[in-house]
């Protein structure tokens, strides 16, 4: 799994590419924590290029959500692939992590 990280004006975007599993989840956690330590408390995880997610990947997202909210921010997800959407729905995490159409709309409406 590869990660792209972009810091925008009012939020940061992390885009995991490939399979977000036990192998890649620690990298996502580390990247999320690094952004929060830098003061980026509004984070979007762009899942448009994430082919698959397992329980470790879900744990990294929920951990990031909790950490962002503790820092008075938020973590939002954008453009999940059908496979990722299916896992979110099966685990009822689609109720906790609302999906936005794109990273740009996650904090700017749409």
In what helix (H) or strand (E) does residue 41 lie, and over which residues does it extend? none
In a domain, 14, yes or no: yes
Per-residue pLDDT tens digits for 59-92? 999 999 999 999 999 999 999 999 999 999 999 9
pLDDT of residue 109: 63
pTM: predicted TM-score of the whole model, two decimal places: 0.95
The enclosing domain of 74 has a CATH number of 3.30.750.24
Q: Which are the contacts of 68, defined by CB distance < 8 A and separation ≥ 6?
A: 32, 36, 41, 42, 43, 74, 75
Number of folded domains that form the chain: 1
pLDDT of residue 4: 97
């Amino acid at each position: 799994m590869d990660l792209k990280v972009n810091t925008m004006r009012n939020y940061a975007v992390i885009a995991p590419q490939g399979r977000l599993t036990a192998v890649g989840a620690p990298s996502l956690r580390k990247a999320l924590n690094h952004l929060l330590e830098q003061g980026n408390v509004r984070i979007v995880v762009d899942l448009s290029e994430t082919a698959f997610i397992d329980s470790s990947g879900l744990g990294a997202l929920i951990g990031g959500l909790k950490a962002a909210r503790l820092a008075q921010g938020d973590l939002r997800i954008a453009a999940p692939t059908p496979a990722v959407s299916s896992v979110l729905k099966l685990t009822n995490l689609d109720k906790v992590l609302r999906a936005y159409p794109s990273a740009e709309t996650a904090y700017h409406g749409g």
